[in-house]
A and B are shown apart, each in its own frame.
Chain A
Amino acid sequence: DSGVTQTPKHLITATGQRVTLRCSPRSGDLSVYWYQQSLDQGLQFLIQYYNGEERAKGNILERFSAQQFPDLHSELNLSSLELGDSALYFCASSVGGSGRESETQYFGPGTRLLVL
């Protein structure tokens, strides 16, 4: 158990819909990262938040957005869903995010999204 929690574990929805994935980082971690794992794209970094502020962006679609709240939990919002958005979405956390050291990221169990 990494200490990172994600809800829900599974999500089934229809095309065009909007969903919200939730992540709670390990106790004491300030950084949260979101990743997408799909068969065709592999594991891709989407976005990082550090202490409530967006810090880095990866291959995140404009239909997707995220935020980190004062209690440090984070939500990933996926809208206008398409079949190709079906994937496993991981959240990871690390201690900091503003220093020179690249800290180890600890992954949550993931949310499996199926768009029908």
Chain B
Amino acid sequence: AQTVTQSQPEMSVQEAETVTLSCTYDTSESNYYLFWYKQPPSRQMILVIRQEAYKQQNATENRFSVNFQKAAKSFSLKISDSQLGDTAMYFCAQAGGGADGLTFGKGTHLIIQP
């Protein structure tokens, strides 16, 4: 069974600061995929970034980047130059090889203070 753990229930930083959200996972799959989704107060689930486990290079999307440590089964999200609109719940998720359901962590509530 796959498990995803987010150990930070809530984090708060000042606008323009850099923040890192932690995620660890456990899987027996050799081919798997990792995602970060953002859920703002509107409750919409928005894809932030995606990482294929077979790729060594860390994924980046503008201000968002990941630190993927495969041996440690760690997948953290770094948000640079944080903005008020980044305030949201952030969920780490994993999928095995082949299209199947996502396993989500419990989420981290990120608050960006003005």
Partners in one complex: yes
- Which residue numbers of A lie inside 8 Å of B, CB to CB? 2, 31, 33, 35, 42-48, 50, 55-56, 58, 88, 90, 92, 94, 96-107, 109-110, 112
20 A/B residue pairs, CB under 8 Å, sorted by A: A33-B102, A42-B106, A43-B93, A43-B104, A47-B101, A56-B100, A58-B101, A90-B45, A97-B99, A100-B31, A100-B97, A101-B99, A102-B97, A102-B98, A103-B99, A104-B35, A104-B50, A105-B47, A107-B44, A112-B43
Interchain CB contact under 8 A, A31 and B91? no
> Does B66 reach chain A (CB closer than 8 Å)?
no
Residues of A within 8 A of B42 (CB): 109
Residues of B within 8 A of A103 (CB): 99
Interchain CB contact under 8 A, B99 and A55? yes
B53 (CB) vs chain A CBs: closest residue: A102
Min Cβ gap B88→A in Å is: 14
B34 (CB) vs chain A CBs: closest residue: A102
Give Cα A81–Cα B101 distance, bound, in whole angstroms.
24
Known contacts A43-B104, A100-B31: A50-B99 contact under CB 8 Å: yes
Known contacts A42-B106, A100-B31, A104-B35: A48-B45 contact under CB 8 Å: no
Known contacts A102-B32, A104-B47: A42-B98 contact under CB 8 Å: no
B98 (CB) vs chain A CBs: closest residue: A100
> Does B111 reach chain A (CB closer than 8 Å)?
no
> Does B68 reach chain A (CB closer than 8 Å)?
no
- Which residue numbers of B lie inside 8 Å of A, CB to CB? 31-33, 35, 37, 42-47, 50, 91, 93, 95-107
Known contacts A90-B45, A107-B45: A33-B107 contact under CB 8 Å: no
Which of B42, B95, B107 neighbours the largest number of chain A CB atoms within 10 Å of its CB? B95
Min Cβ gap A51→B in Å is: 11
Residues of B within 8 A of A96 (CB): 99
Q: Which of B32, B46, B47, B91 contacts A43 (CB 8 A)?
A: B91
Give Cα A21–Cα B110 distance, bound, in whole angstroms.
30
